Amino acid sequence: AHVMNRYGVVIPAFNASATIRETLQSVAAQTLRPERVVIVDDGSADDLAAAIVGIDLPLELLRQDNAGPGSATTRGIAALSTPFIATLDADDLWLPGKIEAQFVHLERQPGASGVFTHMRSFRDGEIDALAPTATPGWSRSTMMIRREVAEAVGPILDPPGGRGEMIDWIARVR
């Protein structure tokens, strides 16, 4: 593989057995294949291992006591050695050309630390009628970042209440 196109994927998962399969199928459908996909089970009560059987990806399932999605993402990043890391929530989907488009951008902008994409909200498979257009997605599900940048920024901290952990971390990246 072209060194530029070497990437791994981190998916934090909490009680995500109902959605993880479709999420992983969207990763498997990428025009550029990941070297590794690390799923971090953040203390789920469901059977995530059973939900991912037979998916055609180089999967690794790590488990930890429930500590939050930031902690789980940080653990997944530490488990990868690829030059680039893409992150994804366990109930989100990537369009097939997402990763390839991000690498095209990074080749044109070699000084960039990472790149995000636009995103659309959906529920139960339907585009959200209140937000039908794609908007800039400063989120875990749209991020591709250089591994050394993610490591330099440090852990993704889970704030009280369990939401918004990427906001602080992305601000530190920027």
Cα angle value 60/92/82 (rounded, 5°): 40
Collapsed DSSP state (helix, strand, coil) of residue 53: coil
Q: Taking the CA atoms of 137, 18, 60 and 28 in sequence, report the sign of the dihedral they define.
A: negative
Q: Taking the CA atoms of 105, 28, 52 and 8 in sequence, report the sign of the dihedral they define.
A: negative
pLDDT of residue 127: 66
Full-model pTM = 0.93
pLDDT of residue 129: 67
pLDDT of residue 7: 98
Give buried/exposed letters for 38-64 (b at 16+ CB in 10 A, else e). Answer: bbbbbebeeebeebbeebebebeebee
Residues of the chain scoring pLDDT < 70 = 1-4, 125, 127-132
